[in-house]
Every structure is written in structure tokens, then in C-alpha cells.
Amino acid sequence: YLVMELCSGGDLRGYINNLQKIGAEIGAKKCWEFVSSIVSAVNQLHIHDIIHGDLKPENVLLTEDIKVKMADFGLSRKLQQGKEYQTYHGGTKFYLAPEIQKDEIDQILTAGKQNQRLPIMRITQTKAVDIWAIGIMLYELLAQHHPFIHSDDDPAGISDIQIAHRIVTEEPSELPSHYPDSLKKLIKAMLQKDPSRRISAKEILSIPEVAANLKRQLSKSIH
């Protein structure tokens, strides 16, 4: 048997669904708490050169008092010494970064043009893929819908190639205007399509609102 901590608060997907069900929105203060907790956890992985590789609301578990616990490390891989990238091993389509989606689309289109099944080319990923996935989750937390699913869409009817094309070519719709510009600016920086320009976990932790939240969390844990 494995004895594991009970996360009775469910997961982030359930949290978002509950907000929709009761017609409520998350406050900016609570959202900053989520940002701080999630990014702090992912930064620990990145410090040790580990890419989670499958971040999504279903893999962010919550305790009874809404503390964040990361889950499902089945696709996590450690970078080889001296390397900043690793082979992509899969993930959840709606949360895959555009650099991965683009490589997959290119392979499909190339195979289609040549009317044959080509050998699958190796696709690589960096730590930036985790930041993209967090950006998608935070967008969903504020807007209560995926940034690349339109209001008239049936999510179940969107094909993998459709969502991949949108993620690669489109910009997400604007977040609700009443949220602080600093929060919206951060999510936009996380959803930067160029991975080399995407904000890092370390940079996020230095943002004043995030640093202040982490300081408060540390103070509570001490006392």
C-alpha cells in the first residue's frame, strides 16, 4: 500500500468548475496566491533540471484549506547535464506549448503532402513548456474558459489539429478588464509564443505580488 496525503479540496479543474456553477469569480488576491504556490513548486523542479511536461488543472491538487500540491509526474524528465532541452514524450493537447504544437503540425502536413507515412521526427522541449501550461491554467482561472476555445465552440468537437493550429497562430482573447494589469501582463508573458522570450519561473518569483505572497506563506508556516 502507498499512504498519501489526502487532498480533500479536489483539483484546480473542480475549483474552476465550481466558480462557474455558483456564478462567482476568483479575486485577484486569491489568484496571486495560486500563482505563487504553483510557480514556486514548478521552480523547485526547474532548479533540479526537471520538466514536469503535463501541467493542467487536473494535475494541480488542493488541500482542504486550498493549498496547492502538484501531481502526476509520469511524463516528467530530468535534463541531461549541460543540456537545456529534452525529447518531448507526450502531454495534454490543450496545454501543450506552441513550439511543440508547431513541430507536430509540420510533421503531419509534410506526411500529407508526400502522401506517405514518414518517420516521426524527434520533438524537443525546454522548461518553458511548463510556464506556458501554467499561463493557460491561470487564464482559465480568471476567464473560466480556455484562451483558445471560442465562446461558440463545443470543446468536445474541436480536433487536435484545430486546437494546435489556434495555439500556434492565434492570440488569446483579452482577460476580464477588472483584473489588475500586473496580473494580466504576467499571464501574457507566460503565453509568449517564442519560448526564448517566455518569462521563467525564477523571474516570476521576483514579481512583487508573488514575492509578498511567498513571504506571507513562509511566515504562516513558521508560526
15-28 confidence digits (pLDDT tens): 999 999 999 999 99
| 196 pLDDT above the threshold of 70 | yes
Render 13-37 in DSSP notation, one character per residue. HHHHHHHHHHT----HHHHHHHHHH
- Parallel, antiparallel, or unpaired: how do β-strands 86-87 and 77-78 relate? unpaired
| 138 pLDDT above the threshold of 90 | yes
Boundaries of every domain in the chain? 12-78+85-222
| 137 pLDDT above the threshold of 90 | yes
Taking the C-alpha atoms of residue 82 and residue 172, their distance in angstroms, rounded to an integer, is 34
CATH architecture of 12-78+85-222: Orthogonal Bundle (1.10)
Calculate mean pLDDT across residues 163-169.
Answer: 92
Task: Read off the pLDDT band of 100 (50, 70, 90).
Answer: confident
SS3 at position 69 = strand
Calculate mean pLDDT across residues 33-50.
Answer: 93
Of residues 73, 37, 79, 41, the one with CA closest to residue 54:
73
Calculate mean pLDDT across residues 135-139.
Answer: 98
pLDDT reported for residue 1: 72
Positions annotated as catalytic residues are 54
Task: Read off the pLDDT band of 93 (50, 70, 90).
Answer: confident
Give percent of the chain with pLDDT exceeding 70: 81
Cell of 8: 480533500
Please count the other Cβ atoms lying within 10 Å of the Cβ belonging to residue 112: 10
Q: Are 91 and 75 in contact (CB under 8 A)?
A: yes
Calculate mean pLDDT across residues 156-182.
Answer: 91
